[in-house]
Amino acid sequence: MRHLFAIQSDRTGNLASMPGIFPDREAPIVHVVGGKRTLSMYRWGMPSSQKALYDAATKRAEKLKAKGKDVDFDQLLRMEPDKGTTNIRNTKSKHWTRWLGPEHRCLVPMTSFSEHNKAAGGDIWFAFDEERPLTCFAGIKVEDWTSVRKIKTGEETMNLYGFLTTDPNDVVRPIHPKAMPVILKTEEERDTWLRAEWSEAKDLQRPLPDGDLIIVAKGQKGDSA
């Protein structure tokens, strides 16, 4: 990662091998800090929208009221668990536009990614080739976000990230017809994503050409490569 992404500052310490990356867990991202490409550990799952949290709290309040319990809705809403939003698709949404500037962009290193399709064999893994070379997603991040991930842990202040999705190409579509991650294959694309204004960077939210991905595994619960 240090070599491919031209890292100038590494905050990850002695980074252990990661056979798989899962939502709401920490993983390395590349972002720019003080003009330097920096490798840091952030938690996967951007803040969910206020509407999503409001709707969830409303449902919980209705259930409590049905049991005859008193409800302080403001407190209930404040403590509503937010599991995080892993993928960002609608970049025109007001919820996401505040985080589309270069100061909130990052690269999310990866070697392969999976989409689940029971009929096709379970978890279907995609990569550039069988060797699963290192590449990255186009990511978005936010620092020092305070919210409740789990009721038992209460409010936490976290550094969070997610990554963009777009229309699937012909390789991914049979497995996951709704979307695929935005993958930045070249250094030019990565540089544009990290530094350019949104008017230029938005053009990178597009699927990879069909010939750039292959299926490398089926049915595995984790990326063992």
CATH architecture classification, 9-14+27-47+87-218: Alpha-Beta Complex (3.90)
Burial class for 133, CB neighbours closer than 10 Å (0-12, 13-18, 19+): exposed
User: Residue 17: pLDDT above 90?
Assistant: no
pLDDT tens-place string over residues 37-54: 999 999 999 999 989 889
Strand-strand pairing, 214-218 and 155-166: unpaired
At residue 79, φ and ψ (nearest 5 deg) are -100, 10
Where are the domain boundaries for CATH 3.90.1680.20 in the chain? 9-14+27-47+87-218
18 falls in which pLDDT band (50, 70, 90)? confident
- Please give the pLDDT value at position 224: 46
Mean pLDDT on 119-128: 94
What pLDDT was estimated at residue 222?
52
pTM of the model: 0.90
Which pLDDT does position 170 carry in this prediction?
Answer: 97
Which candidate, 166, 111, 107, places its Cα nearest to that of 139?
A: 107
